[in-house]
Structure formats: C-alpha cells, structure tokens
Structure 1
Amino acid sequence: MKFLKLSLTILFLLVCQYSRAQNKKKATYPDYLQPAHAINTVTMVMVHDVVSPPVAARYYAYCTLGAYDIVSVNNKKIPALSTFINNYPGNSSLANANVNYDYKIAAYYSILETAKLLLPSDFMLKDNEDAFIELLQKTKVPEDIITNSVKVAENASAAIVAFSKKDHYSQLSALKRYTPIKDESKWYPTPPMYMEAVEPNWKTIRTLVIDSATQYKPKPLIPFNKDTTSEFYGQAKAVYDASKNLSPEQINQALFWDCNPFAVTTSGHMAIGYKKISPGGHWMHIACLVAQKANLGFDESVMVIALNGTTLMDAFVSCWEEKFTSNRIRPETFINRFIDVKWQPTLQTPPFPEYTSGHAVISNASAELLTYLLGDNFAYTDNTEIPFGSGQRDFKSFRQAAAEASLSRFYGGIHYMQSIQNGNDQGKNLAAGIINKIKKAGIIPLYKK
C-alpha cells in the first residue's frame, strides 16, 4: 500500500512539474486539485486491474460525469448533463444542497468516489481518498468544508452510479459467450495466449450521447477471399510486406501507440504479462495534458475531460458493435494460414475481431472533439506514456496524432488498411454527431478563432 501511495505521489509531482513548465501563468486553483491527478489515480487502478479497453472507457466516462454535474451546478456557463446525455434525469439534490462546501474539492473527490464504487480494487481508491483528505487538512482547509464537500461528492457519485446501472453492463455476464465460428473468414484467437474474445456483447451497452450502437456504421467490408489475385488477399499481403520493411520511425510509432492491457510475452513454458494503459486511457491523459497546456480553469478542464470520456465510451460501443457483427479475421491468422506460417506481427494481436480498428475509431473521435474544444493546430508534446514504458512524441494537432495512432496499427501488423481508413471515417462521423449535440446544448469552443 505504501508503494501505491509513493507511486501516485511521484506521478502527481511529475504532472504538476510538467504543468508549471508549460504554463507561464499560475493556475487559479491549488496544484493538488488538478483533475489530471484524479484521472491518473483512476488509471493506475485500472492498469492494476487489467481493465479491457471498452470497459475502461466506460469507467472514465462515469467517473468524470459526477464531477461535471457538480461543476455545472456551480457554473451556469457549463450546460447541465441532461442537455446532452441521453435519458439522464439530473440530480436536483445537487442544486438544492444547502451546505457550505468547495465545489472544486467535491468535483475532484467525486472522480475518486465514483471510481471506488465501480472498479474491482475499490480499496485502492479508498486509500487515495484518505490521502486526499489528509492533504486538505494539512493545507488548512476548514473541517466543515471538507466534510460538506465529501458529502456533496458522494451524492453526485451515487446518482451517476445509479444511472450507470441501467446501461446493461451488469447483464453482460449472463449473455451468451463467444464461441469461435468454423469459418475461415472469421476471427479466431491469436498467439501467444489464444485468449477468448473480449466483450463480445458490448454492443448491448446503452450509449451516452449517440442514439445507438448502430448509428455510425462503417462502410462495408471487402469480401473475404484467399485467392492471391483478390482485393482482400492484397490487403493481407500489404500488411505482410510492410512488416518486412519497417523503418525505425514506423516501429517507434507502432510501439508508442500499442496501449495493449493484455500484452504477454513467453519464454519456454513461462508467460509474463505486462500491464499497460488502454487506448482510451491514453486519450484521457492527452485531454488532461492539453487542458493544462491551454491553462484552462478547473471548470473548463473538468468539462473537457468529461466530454472526452463520454465520447470514448460511445466510440467503443460503436466500434465493438461492428467488430462482432463482421467478425473479421485478423492479419496474423490469415497470413499464418495462407502466406507465411512463421510470420509474427510487430505488436501482439489483441483478443477480438479486426474490423474496424479500435484505435482508428476512438482516436479520431477524441481528436475531433478536442479540435472542436481547443482548436486545430494545437501543438503539444505527448509524454503521457512515459510512466508505462514508452517515450514521448511531438504533435502539431490532435488530428495528426489520431492519424499516426491509426496508421500505427498497420505498422504493428494487426490491422488491414481498409479497417484503418474506414475506422477513421467512423470515428470522425461519430464525433461530428456528438459535437452537433453538445453545440445545441450550449457547449462552445474554449479558444478564440
């Protein structure tokens, strides 16, 4: 437990150090109230729990919605959740809270509290809550303010968790599990662990902003065909050929955007697992980073992070609906069967069907949302992967980052080019729908053109 607190403290100090280096003006709230710190805390627990990508996106969304709810009650420039979240009834008790509290403390605490109520390792979040309260006490925040703020946070979190229980997540375990189909065009478990399919029924999850899992369907698949003159064979051969001629830069891109919570390496009879951040986690950390770089206030930072989490959740539902509908075979399986039995991709193939590329869908969805909120040509250095074993990369815009993230899956040998291109469009179309809805709700860009 001491190691956990020490690790989180070090990570927090790094985040604060980066924030101070990037911003000439001081933040208008204490460093310990940076929303990025709360998100980092939640991420570390999810990495510990090896949470799958779609489930991680769901947790990020709900963990930030309670904080958004508190902020919107206290800042009338921030539209209420009910104006864009489907069927969210609102939390009238927040608006009528007749106590003296610090809404920023409450919003921050709500992120931890909601995570504690949702994540398996809830005890880890309890430790972080206790450490946060100790920090408030050490900085001489009045005890009644702390107590009241925690009560408001617990109220907001309870309402969000109650809302989350209606999204069908609790029913997934009772649904039929995926059984590989005896059809050579369909997905089949891949080396080295041949893991079963991840969340094959995720399409049943209720969406937050978009209408349904099927609202943003991608273009139709190229028909499966193992004939060497066919278009599909050409797609697989392109992956194979590219893997033989990757430049160091292309390999670096593939590794930087790996984000595989399931990474396993084998040595003889021994298998070693590596815990990594999820794709959605990577984009949540990007949102935190750029909110700090843009020197946004607390309220606007919470809004950006919550909208990003919401977009990621819907993007995963949309993508997973297509994955288990088309059930497309992975390049590794096709190449091993019909081109080169000994071939291995640069990255480990994730345990779910190929089409469309999850990185393409969610990266473009997140990039379009952040572009709307913070502008195009927003340059930043992405150092969010350093704690998880990767370096840093410079980007001139969110769209450039999304394009690189998408193409990295081709370099990694785990997606066909069609899946990347159509996944890009799917993510952009989904984001356009979300942006249109939040525009109508009154959420405007945070930059001046």
Structure 2
Amino acid sequence: MKTLYLLLAVIIAVVTMTRCNMDLATELEYESYAFSGIDSDAGSWKPILISAGSDISVDEPTAQNSPVFLAELEAVKSRISSMSNDQKKNVDHWTNNAVLRWNEVALGLIAKYNLIPGPNVDESYSLPDPANPAGPPVFPFAHPPYASRALAYLSVAQYDGMISAWHYKFQFNRPAPYRVDSEISHAYVSNNLPSYPSEGAVLATVSREILTAMFPLEADYLKELEEHHLESLILSGENVPSDLAAGKKIGEEIAAIALARASNDGMKYSQSPKAVSDSLRKVAFDRFGWQWVNLESPVRPVGLTPLFGKVKMWSVQNVESTRPGMPPAPGSEAFQKDVKILQDYADNVTQERRRIANFWQDGLGTYTPPGHWNDIAGEYILKYKMNSIRTARAFAYMNMAIMDGGISCWDTKYYYYYPRPIQLIKDFETIAGTPNFPAYTSGHSVFSAAAAEVLTYLFPQEGSIFREWAEEAALSRIYGGIHWTFDATVGTTQGRDVAQYTIDVAKTDGADD
C-alpha cells in the first residue's frame, strides 16, 4: 500500500467535496419509510451467538378470529383513540426501523461516559469499578476499546434476535393489527411484515439489557426508553400486546446469551495491574531496545487497557496471526525520514490539516472512532432503505470487525510498546494531545479501515469513498502529531486484513444468497 502522506493531495481533493462538510449528529433525522425489501427468508440466516433462529422458542399465536385476539384489537383501538400529543411524538420518533434509534442511544451513552478518570488529591489514580459504578470514578470509562465492545455486543444481540423474530414471523404469518381491522390507523409506511413476534419488542428488550450491562448507572433511563419504544409499537398500529410478549421473550433470551459471552471474554482483565504492565514494558525493551513512556503529570501508572489484546475476538482465532511486523527502530534511516515528515507538518500547520485532525479526533466526551463509523453507517443504511434486519446485520458485522480490529491493534501496541512522536522528537508539539498508550499501530487507522472494509462489502458502490475516509482518518493522526506515518499506514492495512475475517463470516450467513 502506498504511504498515506503520498496520497494526501488526492484524498483532500475528494474528501473535502464529499464528507467533511457533513455535520455528524447522534440522532438521525428520518421518518418511517418503505424498505427496499422485507427478506422473508431471513429467519433462515445464520446467527452469530446461537445456531439458528429457531433456538429461541415462542408459543404459537392465537388465531386472528379468536376472542383473545379480537379483544387485543379492541384494546389497541382504545389506546390509539386516547393518544396524547407526546405519545404521537414518541411514535414518530421510534419509526419502523428502531435499530437506528437504539444505536443512537448507545452513541450518546458512549459520549457521556468517555471521560478519563483524573488524579486523586494525593496524585494517585483510581480505576472505575463495575462493582461500584457510582464511584468515584464512575463506571465505565467509555474509551475506544470499551466503545467498540459495547457496540459489538449490542449489534450482535440485535441481529440474532431479529433472525429469531423473522423465523417465527414467516412461520406463523400473523397479520399486523392495521391489516386486520380497518379502524386501526397505521402511523408508519406499510411494509406488510407479519406482526408476531414483534421485532420492535425484540429490539427494545435486548437493547435495554445489553446497554444496562454496559452502562449500569443508566438502568432507569434505559428502562424508560424500553417502555416508550414498546408503547409506540401499540400506538402505531404495528402490534398487539401478545406480539410484544413474544418479542420480549426473544430479546431476554438472546441478551442472556450475549452477556454470558461478555462475562467470559477477558475484558474484565484488560486494565491490568501495574506489575503486569511493567512486565510487558520490560519484555518489549529487552526484545527491541525501546519503550513507550507515559508523559502525563502526575504519571498514570498503567496505560489504557494493556490486555485488551487478549480479549476474545469474534472472527479471528489467534490475534497473533493479525499482528504486523516490527516498526522502524528509533535512529534508523526510515525512522529519521519519519521524524522529518512530522516536524515539517508541525512547523507548517495548514487550516486544512488542522480541520482534518479535529474532524476525526473523536476524543474525550465524544462517541469515539467506533461511534463515528456507526454514525456514518446509519446515513447509508437510510440511503439504501434497509429494513430492520438488514440494518442489524450491517451494524453487527461492522462492529464485530471494529472490535476485532481494536483487539489486534492493542495486541500490537503492547507487544512493541513503541514510543509516541512527542517522546522521541525534541520540543515536539501536537495539535490534539497525546493518548496514554503506545503508538504502533494507530487505533484510529485500524478502527476506520476495518469499518470501511465492511461498509464496502455492504455497499460496494460506495466503497471508494469509505476507503478514502478511512485514509483521511489515519492521516488525521499524523497531522495531529499523535502518530508516526508508519503507525497509520500499517494500521490501515491491519484494519483491512482483520475486517476480511468478518467479511468471510458474513458471506456465509445466507443473506447474500
């Protein structure tokens, strides 16, 4: 791959016209819409956590001419007739593709909790504790590795739940209330999906369960959102209560399976004790003759998640198989060439380079690089009018690749323990601070390249622009003075390579048949 700094002119010319004028937000403005298709066979697609959609069982629904079902219809009509203006706004908010809305909730929580714990009065540091989430400091610190994992579990659980819902929808083919009773108005564009079980209820419950585990202090808020979403399903004319009950059952069971995996994936050990971190540093120094040094004041004793590289991956069996080769040794010809490049950028900061560095920074108080790419994905999901199961699939595979990319990147960071530019270049200054973990490879580059590759698989006609944005995200870290050029170029290749494992899995799930 050509080095990123040689692609500068081309990337800026293309991206400036296309991406960077787009105002990213954590809530998309969209209404219900006609799906490009309903994928009636999606119940046979291969899930990720379970072996088949039929693994989760639900009861057969009552017949549509039964007294029980007719009573449900009357109750729905009564509730719709007394709907308040606030309830109407709530119905409009959730729409007929609420996968996007729950993804937005996750992005908002990531931004809220993406705050690094500061030092104590005695200049020591305390870690967020899931057993005492109120702290201080509060749990979690939603840094990029944490964000990537939260989004992956949320999206995978949503996708598996949707497959199970689709399996039973087209097995039982119960029509939606508005199709049975003409007096029931339908608030959304109709896509003629069977209503039992409710895919919306699956989403509401599985999303609340996963996000509560990831952000325990938000339990009440998330429960309220779940209730609002469930209410919208009735008041929109989409479902009757028994549709919701079946959907909630699927959501609860899938969430339990997902959280069982999460409890044993190794994340709880990722923020290692100082002794473990020091041993990694010593091994790297003995092997390579260099070491990253944390320049924070007061010095934080351990960098960010030294053992995130040991967390269980989704699509890769052995993280070491994705670890790139050694970076240039400090003092070598290749290294000195990079020093010159970075010094030139630092001495000649242009408005365009500063804008790029800031646009892709995604630092503290934001939804992080993984969240940025979820935001991008949402725009294209809407552009191509994906239905809710296709939406869940897109987020699932993209976030699996992002998380796997992050694990591979962090394995590389703490294997090589490579110093940051600010540590090795005298009097060097950065645009956007310096993260508290080793340089090689660049997390932004890996996260972005992994996301871009999966999005290219999903939306092949848009592939060139996704890859250009990933290149620009990588460049942004060089312009900011945060990374060496080889951190970015190698990281981009690494992200693409890791993503291919996920794409290979996606190609076998039946959705492309």
The TM tier, using the shorter chain, reads 0.7 to 0.9
Partner of 2:434: 349
- SS in structure 2 at match of 1:301: helix
Match status 1:15 vs 2:121 = no
Pick from 180, 184, 187: which aligns with 2:292? 187
Give the corresponding residue for 2:161: 70
CA distance in 2, matches of 1:72, 1:134: 23
Q: Give matches, 1:331-342, under 5 Å.
A: 331-335=421-425, 339-340=426-427
Tell whether the 8 Å contact from 2:97 to 2:387 is kept in structure 1 after alignment. Answer: no
Flag the 1:171–1:75 CA change in 2: closer, same or farther, 3 A: same
Determine which of 330, 334, 337 is the counterpart of 1:224.
330
- Please give the alpha-carbon distance, in whole angstroms, between the structure 2 residues aligned to 1:151 and 1:367: 34
Matched, 1:244 2:308: no
Question: Pick from 502, 505, 511: which aligns with 1:434?
Answer: 502
Shift of 1:33: 3.5
String of CA shifts for 1:127-178, please: whole Å, max 9, x gaps. Answer: 3223323433443542333333223211111111112222122344565552
Q: Is 1:121 aligned to residue 211 of structure 2?
A: no
Match of 1:382 in 2: none
Counterpart amino acid of residue 355 in structure 1: Y
1:151 to 249, 261, 267: 249
Aligned to 1:199: 305
Matched, 1:310 2:400: yes
Displacement after TM superposition at 1:281 (Å): 1.0
Question: Alpha-carbon deviation of 1:424?
Answer: 1.2
Higher mean alpha-carbon deviation, 139-148 vs 416-425, is at 139-148
Q: Sequence identity of aligned pairs in percent?
A: 24
- Report if the CA contact (8 A) 1:16-1:31 is conserved: no
2:261 — aligned with what?
163
**In terms of mean alpha carbon deviation, does 289-298 or 121-130 score higher?**
121-130
Deviations 1:344-363 (A, max 9, x none): 20112111100001111111
Whether the aligned pair in 2 keeps the contact of 1:407 and 1:420 (CA below 8 Å) is yes
1:198-253 deviations in Å (ceiling 9; x for gaps): 1001121111111122121213211122xxx7431331232122122122111111
| 1:320-375: CA deviation from partner (whole Å, max 9, x where unpaired) | 0000000000011112xxx22xx320112111100001111111111111101111
Correspondence 1:416 to 2:484: yes
The one-letter amino acid of 2:102's match is A
- Give the 5 Å matches for 1:363-374: 363-374=448-459
Secondary structure in 1 matching 2:385? coil
Measure how far apart 1:291 and its partner are. 0.9
**Equivalent residue for 2:201?**
105
Partner of 2:144: 53
1:404 to 2:476 alignment: no
TM-score, length-scaled by structure 2: 0.66
Distance 1:423 1:26, change over 3 A: closer
SS at match of 1:222: coil
* Residue identity matched to 2:376: I
Q: 1:177 to 1:241 in 2, by over 3 A?
A: same
1:41 paired residue number: 105
2:361 paired with 1:255: no
Q: Higher mean Cα deviation, 170-179 or 286-295?
A: 170-179
Aligned residue type for 2:28: V
2:199 partner letter: Y
Contact preservation (8 Å) 1:308, 1:369: yes
| Number of matched pairs | 371
| Secondary structure of residue in 2 paired with 1:246 | coil
How far 1:100 moved relative to its partner? 4.4
429-438 or 246-255, which moves further after superposition? 429-438
Unaligned 5+ residue runs, structure 1? Answer: 1-10, 77-98, 262-274, 379-395
Give the RMSD, CA atoms, in angstroms.
Answer: 2.8
Instruction: Give 5+ residue unaligned stretches, structure 2.
Output: 1-24, 39-91, 115-141, 168-194
What TM-score does the superposition give when structure 1 sets the normalisation length?
Answer: 0.75
Q: Is 1:358 equivalent to 2:443 in the alignment?
A: yes
Distance in 2 (CA, whole Å) between partners of 1:224 and 1:443 is: 48
CA deviations 1:36-84 (Å, max 9, x no partner) are 21011012112222201111111111111111112222446xxxxxxxx
Judge conservation of contact 2:165–2:250 (CA < 8 Å) in 1: no
Q: For residues 295 and 512 of structure 2, what CA distance do their matches in structure 1 show?
A: 44
SS of 1:377's equivalent? helix
2:412 corresponds in structure 1 to 322
> Residue in 2 aligned with 1:425?
493
Name the CA distance, whole Å, in 2 between partners of 1:197 and 1:174: 9
Residue 219 and residue 297 in structure 1: after superposition, are their counterparts in 2 closer, same or farther (change >3 A)?
same
CA gap of 1:120–1:185, structure 2 versus 1, over 3 A, is farther
Alpha-carbon separation, structure 1, partners of 2:366 and 2:451: 20
The 1:193/1:375 distance shift into structure 2, 3 A limit, reads: farther
- 1:63–1:114 Cα contact (<8 Å) kept: yes
Q: How far 1:191 sits from its partner (Å)? A: 4.4
What is the CA–CA distance in structure 2 between the aligned matches of 1:167 and 1:108, rounded to whole Å? 24
Quickly say closer, same or farther: Cα 1:116–1:405, change in 2 above 3 A. same
The separation in 2 between residues aligned to 1:365 and 1:101, in whole angstroms, is 34
1:363 partner letter: S
- 1:376 Cα deviation (Å)? 3.8
**Residue 148 of structure 2 aligns to which amino acid in structure 1?**
A
Distance change (3 Å), C-alpha of 1:25 and 1:315: closer
Higher Rg of the two aligned structures: 2
- Cα separation, 2, equivalents of 1:443 and 1:149: 22
Single out whichever of 324-333 and 129-138 deviates more from structure 2. Answer: 129-138
CA distance 1:246–1:171, shift in 2 (3 Å): closer
- Aligned pair in 2 of structure 1 residues 158, 25: CA closer, same or farther (>3 Å)? closer
CA contact (8 A) 2:201 2:230 kept: no
